[in-house]
Amino acid sequence: MLEKRRAGILLPISCLPSPYGIGSFGKAAYDFVDFLKEAKQTYWQILPICPTSFGDSPYSSPASFAGNPYFIDLDMLAEDNLLRAKDYVKASKNTKFIDYDNLYKVRSAILKKAYDNFLKMAPLDYSSFVNNNYKWLHDYALFMYLKDKFNGASFDVWDDKYKYYNEETLKEFNEEQLGFYYFLQYEFSKQWNSLKQYANKAGIKIIGDLPIYVAYDSADVWASPNMFKLDKNLKPTKVAGCPPDAFSDDGQLWGNPLYNYKLMKSDGYSWWIARCKRAFELYDIVRLDHFRGFEAYWAIPASDDTAKDGKWVKGPNYAIFKAIKKSLGDKEFIAEDLGYLTESVYKLVAKTKFPGMKVIEFGFDGKKDNEHLPVNYKENIVAYIGTHDNAPVIGWYEALTKKEKGVVNNLIAPTSCDDLVDKLISMIQTSVANTVIIQMQDYLHLGLDARINTPSNKAGNWKWRLDEDYQSASLAKRIANITKKASRC
- 207-232 exposure pattern, b = at least 16 Cβ within 10 A, e = fewer: bbbbbbbbbbbbbbbbbbbebbbbee
Task: Please name the residues in contact with 44: beta carbons below 8 A apart, sequence gap of 6 or more.
Answer: 8, 9, 11, 32, 33, 36, 199, 204, 205, 206, 207
Number of CB atoms found within 10 A of residue 274's CB? 14
Catalytic residue (one of 336, 337, 361, 422): 336
Catalytic residue (one of 75, 80, 281, 389): 389
Assess contact for 76 and 29: CB atoms under 8 A: no
Coil, helix or strand for 248?
strand
Number of CB atoms found within 10 A of residue 244's CB? 14
Coil, helix or strand for 27?
helix
Query: Judging by DSSP bridges, how do beta strands 381-384 and 356-359 pair with one another?
Result: parallel
Is there a catalytic annotation at residue 116? no
Task: Estimate the share of the chain in helix, then strand, then coil, as percent rounded to the nearest 5.
Answer: 45, 15, 45
Between CA 118 and CA 123, with CA 122 as vertex, the angle to 5 degrees is: 130
Is there a catalytic annotation at residue 289? yes
Catalytic residue (one of 217, 289, 295, 337): 289
Query: Judging by DSSP bridges, how do beta strands 381-384 and 435-439 pair with one another?
Result: parallel
Is there a catalytic annotation at residue 389? yes
Catalytic residues: 289, 336, 389
